[in-house]
Structure 1
Amino acid sequence: MKKLLIILHDLSAGGAEKMMARLASALVDAGNDVTLLMLTGGGLHATHLDPRVKKVELRSLRTARAVPALTRFLRANRFDAQLAALTHVNVVAIVAAWLSGTLARLHVSERNAFSHDKHVNPDLMVRLAYRVAPLLYRLIPNPVICVSRGVAQDLVNTTIARRQDVTIADNPVLDDDFRDKLPGPPSHPWLLEKSSPVLVAVGRLAPQKGFDTLIAALAALADPNVRLIIFGEGALRDRLLEQARRLDVADRVDLPGYTPDPMAEVAAASCFVLSSRFEGSPNVLVEALSTGTPVVSTRCPHGPQDILIGGLVAPLVAVDDPIALARAIDLQLSIPRDLQRQSRIDAAARFMNASAVETYLAALLPRPSP
Structure 2
Amino acid sequence: MRIAIAIDSLGGGGAQKVMLTLAKEFTELGHEPHFFVMSDNTAFDIPQSLPVHICFAKKDRDFNRFWNLAPAVEKLTAKIRSIEQTVGKFDLFLSNLDKTNRLMVKTNVSPLFVVVHASVEEELTRHAKLGPFAYLKKLLAKKALNGHHLVTVSEGIANEIRQTKRIEPASIKCIYNPFEFDEIDHLSQQQAQGIPDSDYLIHIGRYVKQKRHDVLFQSIAKMKSQIPVVLLCHNPKKARKAAKKYGVESRVVIPGFQPNPFPWIKSAKALVLSSDFEGLPTVLIESLACGTPVVSTDCPHGPSEIMTGDLARFLVPRRDPAALAAKLDEMLVSPPSMAEVDILAKVQAARIAQEYLALVK
Equivalence for 1:54? 51
TM-score when scaled to structure 2? 0.87
Deviates more, 1:80-89 or 1:299-308: 80-89
Residue 293 of structure 2 is matched in structure 1 by: 294
Distance 1:228 1:145 in 2: 36
**Matching residue within 93, 97, 119 for 1:82:** 93
Q: For residue 129 of structure 1, report the CA deviation from its aligned partner.
A: 4.6
Shift of 1:79: 0.8
Task: Determine the C-alpha separation between the residues in 1 that align with 2:344 and 2:284.
Answer: 9
The verdict on how the C-alpha distance between 1:16 and 1:170 changes in structure 2, with shifts beyond 3 A counting, is same
1:207-222 equivalences in 2 (<5 Å): 207-222=209-224
Distance across 2 between alignment mates of 1:302 and 1:353: 21
Letter in 1 for 2:343: A
> Structure 1 pair 156/36, CA: closer, same or farther in 2 (3 Å)?
same
**Secondary structure in 2 aligned to 1:19?**
helix
What is the CA–CA distance in structure 1 between the aligned matches of 2:303 and 2:64, rounded to whole Å?
Answer: 33
Q: Distance in 2 between matches of 1:249 and 1:211?
A: 12
Within a 5 Å distance, the mapping from 1:138-287 to structure 2 comes to 138-140=146-148, 143-162=149-168, 165-175=171-181, 183-190=189-196, 193-194=197-198, 197-224=199-226, 226-234=227-235, 238=237, 240-287=239-286
Quote the Cα distance in structure 1 between the aligned partners of 2:195 and 2:265: 13
**Matched residue type, 1:132:** L
The 8 Å contact of residues 5 and 35 in structure 2, kept in 1 or not, is answered as yes
Letter in 2 for 1:27: F
Offset of residue 313 of structure 1: 5.2
Q: Contact 2:120–2:142 at 8 Å: present in 1 too?
A: no
Question: In 1, Cα distance between the equivalents of 2:281 and 2:188?
Answer: 22
Compare the two structures and name the one with the higher helix fraction: 1
Structure 2: runs of 5 or more not aligned: 66-71
Separation in 1 of the partners of 2:209 and 2:308? 26
The answer on whether the counterparts of 1:313 and 1:347 sit within 8 Å (CA) in structure 2 is no
Name the counterpart of 2:3. 4
| Aligned equivalents of 2:186, 2:259: Cα separation in 1 | 20
Task: Please report how far the alpha carbon of residue 165 of structure 1 lies from its aligned counterpart in structure 2 after TM superposition.
Answer: 3.1
Q: Read off the aligned partner of 1:290 and give its amino acid letter.
A: A
State the TM-score, normalized to the length of structure 1: 0.85
Question: 2:355 is matched with which residue?
Answer: 359
Instruction: Report if the CA contact (8 A) 2:207-2:234 is conserved.
Output: yes
| SS of alignment partner, residue 202 of structure 2 | strand
Check the 8 A contact 1:200/1:266 in 2, yes or no: yes
Contact 1:87 1:110 in 2 (8 A): no
Q: For the residues of structure 2 that align with 1:128 and 1:37, how far apart are their CA atoms?
A: 26
Q: CA deviation at 1:34?
A: 0.8
1:127/1:88 CA distance change after superposition, 3 Å: farther
Q: 1:47-126 to 2 correspondence within 5 Å?
A: 47=45, 49-61=46-58, 63-64=63-64, 66-76=72-82, 77=84, 78-95=89-106, 97-98=107-108, 102=109, 104-120=110-126
Give 1:80 deviation, angstroms. 0.9
**TM-superposed deviation, 1:205:** 0.4
For residues 220-263 of structure 1, give each alpha carbon's deviation from its aligned partner in whole angstroms, at most 9, with x where no partner exists: 11122x111111114xx555433322333211113332111112
CA offset at residue 157 of structure 1? 2.8
Aligned to 2:337: 340
Aligned-CA RMSD value:
2.5
Letter in 1 for 2:52: K
Change (3 A) 1:242 1:264: same
Say how many residue pairs are matched: 345
Structure 2 residue identity aligned to 1:242: K
Cα drift, residue 50 of structure 1: 3.0
Conservation of the 8 A alpha-carbon contact between 1:310 and 1:316: no
- The amino acid of 1:341's aligned partner reads M
Identity of aligned residues (%): 27
Q: Which residue of 1 aligns with 2:143?
A: 135
In the TM superposition, what whole-angstrom CA distance separates every residue of 1:166-200 from its partner, at most 9, and x where no partner exists?
2111111224575677532343342xx11xx3111
Query: Residues 214 and 287 of structure 1: is their aligned pair in 2 closer, same or farther, counting only changes over 3 Å?
Result: same
Question: 2 CA distance for matches of 1:125 and 1:243?
Answer: 30
CA distance in 2: counterparts of 1:150 and 1:138, whole angstroms:
19
Q: Sort the Cα spacing of 1:73 and 1:127 in 2 relative to 1 into closer, same or farther, 3 A.
A: farther
